[in-house]
A and B are shown apart, each in its own frame.
Chain A
Amino acid sequence: MVLDLTMSMAILALLGALATIAGCLEDLESDVGSQSNPNSQVQLAPQMGFLHRIFNKAISGEPISNGMSDVTGGTVTSVLLSAKFYPLTAIVIGAFVAAILYGIYATTSYAGRVASQTRFKQPLYMDIMRYTTPSIIGHNFIVNFCLVAIAYIQYAVLGYPFSIPFLALIWGISVGAIGSSVGDVHYGGEREFQNREFGCGLNTALSGRIVRKAESGLRNSIDNVWFCAKFGGPATGIGLGLTVFFSSWRTTIWGYTWEAMGVGVIILVIMIILNRLTEISVKNAYGPYKEDKEEKEAGSVAH
C-alpha cells in the first residue's frame, strides 16, 4: 500500500509508541518472574543457603520465550483474521491465548526448578505461584498485544513480504534480546544486591547472596517489578522504540537509496558518541577503583 509522507510518519510514530510500551512491559514481565540471566542468582541462592520467596521462571532465555509467545499470538491472530474476525479482536484474542500458554510454561518452570533443588530444602510456595503467575500473564499479554499489532500493521498496512507470525516472531526475539541486555541489568546488577553500596561493583564472590527481605516482610517477585519499573523497564522501552523507529524512519524519508544508508551510518555515529559521553561522565563521576602512581600521573596530565 502506498501512503503519503504524513500518513507514513503517523504509522511510524504509532509503531514506535507500541514498541516502547512492549519493550518496557517485556522487561517488567521478566522481572516479575525473574527470568533470563539474573535468574542465575535466584537459582544459585538456595545452594548458598539463601532460601527465598522469589519466582524462578526459567522457561528459557528471554528472546526464546518472548519469541514463543509472540509467534503464538501472531499465529492465532492470523488464523482468526482468515476467519473474518475484526483485526483488533483477533489481535486481542491471539495475545491472550499466547499469554495463557506463556503462563503455563512459567508454572512448570517454577515447579520444575524448585523440585530439582530438594537437597537445599527450598520449599515450593504455592501462594507465590498463585499470585505471580497472573501478573506474568498480564504483562505478557500487553507485550504480545503491542508486538502482534506492530506485525499486523507492517503486514497489512505497510505490505512487508513476511506473514504476521514471522514478523511477530522476529520482534519477539528482538524484544527479548533487548530486554535481557538492558532492563535485566537493573534487576540483576542492582535490585538483587541492593544491600551493597551503590556503585561498589559486584564481586563475583557475592554470587547467590541475593537480598531476600523487602521494605516490609519478605521480598517476592512483585516487589522487584515495583523497583525495576522506575528505570530498567523504561530504558528497555527506549531501546526497542529506537530500534523500530530508526529501522524504518530512514527509508520512509529517503526511500531505498544510498542516502538512507548514509543517514543510518550517521545515526550509528551519534549513538557511538552518546555512549562515549556516558562513559566519560561515569568514569569521572565514580573514578577508578584502584589508583597507582602511573595512573595518577596520567590522570594529572589528562586534567
Chain B
Amino acid sequence: MVLLDPTTLIDIGLIGLSGALICLAVHFIPVGGAPAAMAQATGIGTGTVELAAGSGLVGLITSSYMLHADPSASMALVMASGALGASVMLASTMLAGGFIYAYGVAVPFASAQVKKDPITGQRQDNYVSKGTQGQGIPTICFVSGVVGSGLGGAGGGLIYSVLMHYYSPLISATSAAAVAGVFTMGVFYVNSVIPSYGVGGTIEGVHDPKFRRVVPKDVFTSVVVSMLCGVVAILIAGGMTP
C-alpha cells in the first residue's frame, strides 16, 4: 500500500503540521470580533476565521508564485515567503486599523487581559475605558498578530508545496496548481474555523489567558483533522494515475 511508505507518512505528518500552524495562527492573531469594531474590545474588529484566512491566503499567493518562479526553491524559502506575505498583510491591516482607533475614534490602545504590556512594560489597565474590554491594538497584540499570521502563511505554503510535489508529475502544471490550490483552501478553512469555535470568536493574542487554555485541544483537533485531509489528498493523487 502506497500509504505506508515512509515518505508518504512524512508528507501526511507535514500536512498535519501545517494544519497545526494554521490553527495556532488563529490563536495568535488578536481578534475582538464585533465589539472591537465599536472599540469595546482589544484587537482587530472582525472575525477570527476571515482574518486568519485572508492573511494566510495572501501568503498562499506569494508562496505559490515563488514555487512557480523557482520550482527548485527549498521548502524553507517557500514557507518563509508565505509567512512574510501573510504577515505583511496583517501588519498593514493592523497599522491602518490602529490609525482609525487613534485618530478616528480617539481611544488609547489598551489590553484588558494584562496589567502591563509584556513588551513595552507600559500600564494597560488604567487606559481601558469604562464598560469595555480594552480597545485598539497595543504593541503586544501587534507583535502577536504578526507572528501568528506568519505561522498561518507558512502553513499554507507548506501544504501547497507538499501537494504540488504529488500532483505536478501526474497532471499539467496549471491543473496541478489549481487542484493543490483548491485543496489548500479547503484545508485552510477547516483549520481556521475549528479553532475559532475553540476561542469563541475573540482572543487577544499570545498573552491572553484563554490562549493557554484552548491551544492544546484546538491544536490536537486540527492535527487530527488535517492528517485525515492529508490521507485524502494523497489518495486523490492515486486516483489521478492513469
Contacts and interface: CB of A to CB of B under 8 A. Distances in A.
Interface of A: 36-38, 40-41, 61-64, 154, 158-163, 166-167, 170, 173-174, 176-178, 180-186, 188-190, 192-193, 198-207, 231-232, 235-236, 238-240, 242-243, 246-248, 250-251, 256, 258, 261, 264-265, 267-268, 271-272, 274-276, 278-279, 281-283, 285-292, 295, 298
B97 A182 contact: yes
Interface SS majority for chain B: helix
Interface string B154-183: 000000000000000000011001100110
A18 to B, nearest CB: 15
B146 A272 contact: yes
Contacts of A292: 126
Contacts of A193: 38
Interface SS majority for chain A: helix
Interface stretch (B17-25, B41-49, B234-242): B41-49
20 contacts: A37-B46, A160-B68, A162-B64, A170-B60, A173-B57, A178-B96, A199-B106, A199-B107, A203-B131, A203-B132, A232-B100, A235-B96, A235-B104, A248-B65, A268-B87, A275-B137, A281-B102, A286-B107, A288-B108, A298-B123
B154 to A, nearest CB: 12
Interface residues of B, number: 83
Contacts, number: 291
A282 B108 contact: yes
B123 A286 contact: no
A162 B40 contact: no
Contacts of A183: 100
B93 A247 contact: no
A274 B97 CA distance: 12
Interface in B191-220: none
A289 B50 contact: no
Contact of A189 (B80, B93, B101, B177): B101
Contact of A239 (B50, B92, B125): B92
B233 interface: no
Contacts of B39: 185, 188-189, 201-202
